[in-house]
Amino acid sequence: ANGDAEVQNFSGIRRELYNLSKLDFEIPIIDLGDLVSGRTVEDSHYILQEVLLACHSKRAIPIIVGGSNDFAFSLFSALNVHQKNINYTQISNIISLQQGEMINEHTFLGKILGSKDFSIKNYHHLGYQKHLNEVDSVKLMKEVAFDVIRLAEMMNSTERTEPFFRRADLVTLNCDAVESRGDGFSVNPQINGLNNREICAYMKEIGLSENLKSVGIFNFNANSEALLNHQLLAQIIWHLIEGIN
């Protein structure tokens, strides 16, 4: 955005994904290619929303991979055109409710939850890490009766959080919530987070949602030179598709 967007190369992820077993997949799967960003942040959000609206009109489930976490705003906006009372679940290590005119990683959630134009039924925030968050943000979320689940409650089993995925219309994953290795799985690598097996298990649970309409996977480190990071993202997508199938 602002004329200085970097080209992100997803060929390594595509190679790893296409090498995985198609198993017994019966649903059609289409790779729509790479989205060229606009000159401004607003342009990029507009372009993405247009693509999402086209997908929703075809009753397709778009899986958006790459870009920053604030693109969740576009996913919610596009879905809100076709549907009201949206159930939104986000997996992220950070809860940020900052105010501001610009849409960015710090303000997008506040804009979704506070906008009179948006219709949200339930919001679930999973995987937050206490030492990375302001006390006031977590307290406010609980005061308005939104579910807030710590990372420790998600480890080793999906049972605690399965109800938050079961009827989700929209789910987004901030890759910062995943444990990093090598040169970083996410653009903001964290030593603590969901491990490889846990995040794949959660992605399958997301795919099993009865109402799933849209999925976003954001903040992946596309510039990573570590093969294992590309393999992990490919398997995250694969497990999601397996659940949908």
pLDDT in tens, 173-222: 999 999 998 899 999 999 999 999 999 999 999 999 999 999 999 999 99
7 by Cβ neighbours in 10 Å (0-12 / 13-18 / 19+) ranks as exposed
In sequence order, what DSSP letters do the residues of 74-104 get, joined into one string? HHHHHHHHH-SSEEEEEE-S-------SS-S
How many CB atoms sit inside 10 A of residue 158's CB? 14
Give CA–CA dist 226/12, Å, rounded. Answer: 10
Task: Indicate the DSSP class of residue 128.
Answer: E
Rounded to an integer, what distance in angstroms lies between the CA atom of residue 119 and that of residue 121?
Answer: 7
Distance CA 227, CA 30 (A): 24
> pLDDT at position 1, please?
44
Other beta carbons within 10 Å of 245: 14
Q: Enumerate residue ranges in the chain where pLDDT < 70.
A: 1-7
Report field, pTM of the whole predicted structure over 0.85 = yes
pLDDT in the model for residue 28: 92
β-pairing, 170-174 with 147-150? unpaired
Residue 48 phi, psi dihedral angles, 5° rounding: -65, -40
pLDDT at 136: 85
Q: Tokens for 126, please give them.
A: 């999973």
In angstroms, how far is CA 186 from the centroid of its own chain? 12
Task: Give the C-alpha distances (Å, rounded to integers) separating 83 from 60, 86, 166, 216.
Answer: 14, 7, 17, 18
Burial grade of 128 (CB within 10 A; 0-12, 13-18, 19 or more): buried
